[in-house]
Amino acid sequence: MNPARNPSEERLLAYAAGTLSPPEAVVVAAHLALRPANDAWVRRLQSVGGELLETTRPLALSDGALARAMARIETDAGEVRIPPPLNDMPELPEPLRRYALGPWRWIGPGMRARDVHAPRDGDCRVILLKIDPGRETPRHTHGGVELTCVLSGAYATETERFDVGDLEEADEDVLHRPRVISDEPCVCVVALDGEIQLDGWLGRLMQPFVRL
């Protein structure tokens, strides 16, 4: 794996163990849906974890657990029901089609965002960003973590290029200005903790008007 464009091994290990925060897990799941090789690596980790569980000493079930399980089985009609789609973007990776979406809202010239109604973790939430070709965000850093996975199009920072399936990890130590370099709009799913912090005097002037 190229560490510059994939989640860190620590984050993937946390995802495999089920300890990653829910918003970050949503973004990592979208990345894995677009990167089968990384998904296979995570599944191997989960398989190893399952084998370890099998070697641990089992605990006794609570009284009546078997009876309750059998009662649920007996009430199952055996019908397979296909749930209706939860959002209007069938082109999204399967993990993101599980969540309802808020309306698109304007956040700047050529830039829109919509909320992904996935579980939050404090101030950390999931959003979709759609930025038109040639547009760039203001230079900014972050109040906390920012995980970004490219779903379509491509963008570049001062040092890296990110294409479909690539994932960028950023925090308060990262100062960047992403710019869309594809001929089509760049759509990303982002786990964002807190508000972005705009850089420079112009950024501080614009800060009250920028809300993600």
What does the alpha-carbon distance between residue 166 and residue 57 come to, in Å, rounded to a whole number? 41
Q: Which two tokens stand for residue 34?
A: 């677009």
Confidence bin at 203 (pLDDT 50/70/90): very low
Return the pLDDT at 5.
Answer: 87
Q: Is the pLDDT of residue 202 over 50?
A: no
Return the pLDDT at 171.
Answer: 75
Span 91-124, pLDDT tens digits: 999 999 999 999 999 988 899 999 999 999 988 8
% of the chain with per-residue pLDDT over 70: 68
What does the alpha-carbon distance between residue 149 and residue 166 come to, in Å, rounded to a whole number? 6
**Residue 62 DSSP one-character state:** P
What does the alpha-carbon distance between residue 177 and residue 189 come to, in Å, rounded to a whole number? 17
What does the alpha-carbon distance between residue 61 and residue 147 come to, in Å, rounded to a whole number? 40
Q: What is the pTM of this model?
A: 0.76
Return the pLDDT at 34.
Answer: 96
Burial code of 166-186, b = ≥16 C-beta within 10 A, e = fewer? bbbbbeeeeebebbbbbeebb
The pair phi, psi for residue 99, each rounded to 5°, is: -120, 140
Return the pLDDT at 177.
Answer: 83
DSSP 107-170: EETTEEEEEEEEEEETTEEEEEEEE-TT-BPPPEEESS-EEEEEEES-EE-SS-EE-TT-EEEE
Q: Where are the domains of the chain?
A: 1-211
Q: Is the pLDDT of residue 75 over 70?
A: no
**Which uninterrupted H or E stretch holds 53?**
helix 36-55
Q: For 198, what's the count of Cα atoms within 13 Å in the CB-facing half-sphere? A: 15
More confident residue, 138 or 183: 183
Helix, strand, coil shares, percent, the chain, to 5: 30, 25, 40
Largest CA distance in the chain: 67
Quickly name the fold that domain 1-211 has.
Jelly Rolls (2.60.120)
Mean pLDDT value of segment 174-195: 88
Mean pLDDT is highest, among 121-135, 137-151, 194-208, for 121-135
Q: Is the pLDDT of residue 18 over 70?
A: yes
What does the alpha-carbon distance between residue 123 and residue 118 come to, in Å, rounded to a whole number? 13
Q: Residue 186 forms beta bridges with which residues?
A: 131
Confidence bin at 158 (pLDDT 50/70/90): confident
What does the alpha-carbon distance between residue 12 and residue 181 come to, in Å, rounded to a whole number? 28
Mean pLDDT of the chain: 80
